[in-house]
A = this chain, B = another copy of it.
Amino acid sequence: MQTITSRDNPNVKRIAKLTKRDQAKKEGLIYLEGTRLCEEALASGQKASEVVVTEERISWAREFTPDIEPLVVSREVFAKISQTVNPQGVAIILNEPKLTADIPSRGDGKDIYVVLENTQDPGNLGTIIRMADAFGLTAVIVSPTTCDPYNDKVIRATMGSVWHIPIVRKTMDECFDFFESSKTDTLAMHLKGTELGAGDLRLPCAYFIGNEGDGLTDATSARCTKLVKIPMKGKAESLNAAVAASVIGYELQKLI
């Protein structure tokens, strides 16, 4: 293994391109950097197609990606590629998982789905994916306009859950078709909804969370079984989208 010391090396140039999410996405790839992110993905069964390490981290590559010949680069070259302030000298390229084609089902009538219509904040999306994995939801469904689940900030915020729970990209129409045919309750989280009471929740259930600033679209709200809001004893009018999604997820999982 020869250590690459030139930024002009064609492999280095190719990897550097893939660190831009737009470019990686176009090629159906994901660039991950740092030991935690890389190890979480590999431990979850994701297969790396390429590995880039500094000389000091060759042993990491041997341990975590034994089947792949790593691209070994100098610290200077790695720092040039790196997207972080303190590069750890470890990066992998993965094939992007397909956003599951069909909405999955547990088959026992206890499905819980969180449906995100146009969520824009990567931290919120990541936090919701993590919550959904923790509470045992069946899937996270994202609208076509919701931010990219394989955005670096989303992946970081999921703490590995992005690899564990099905993430499905569907239009709202496709969602309602599925939920109507599967007799799944549909709850719109809406500031004009009625306060959620004990009797409002039954499984299977899909709950819809809107955009951070604008909430759900009228079209989506109108098609849901019920408009509900979280009871709040204080003064603030609304909650962060990830917090709202989590409170409902928490209440629903009590019914599993």
Where the two chains meet, the residues of A that have a C-beta atom closer than 8 Å to any C-beta of B are 123, 127, 130-137, 157, 159-161, 164-165, 230-240, 242-243, 246-247, 250, 253-254, 256
Query: Contact at B246–A239, with CB atoms within 8 Å?
Result: yes
Q: What residues on B are CB-neighbors of A161 within 8 Å?
A: 236
**Complex Cα–Cα for A182 and B43 (A):** 47
Query: Contact at A250–B235, with CB atoms within 8 Å?
Result: no
Query: Contact at B243–A136, with CB atoms within 8 Å?
Result: no
Q: Which residue of B lies closest to A129 (CB)?
A: B236
Query: Contact at A134–B246, with CB atoms within 8 Å?
Result: no
**Complex Cα–Cα for A149 and B222 (A):** 39
Query: Contact at B136–A239, with CB atoms within 8 Å?
Result: no
Query: Contact at B134–A236, with CB atoms within 8 Å?
Result: yes
Query: Contact at A232–B136, with CB atoms within 8 Å?
Result: yes
Residue in B165, B247, B256 whose beta carbon sits within 8 Å of that of A233 in the complex: B256
Q: What residues on B are CB-neighbors of A233 within 8 Å?
A: 135-136, 253, 256
Q: What residues on B are CB-neighbors of A160 within 8 Å?
A: 236
**Complex Cα–Cα for A157 and B238 (A):** 12
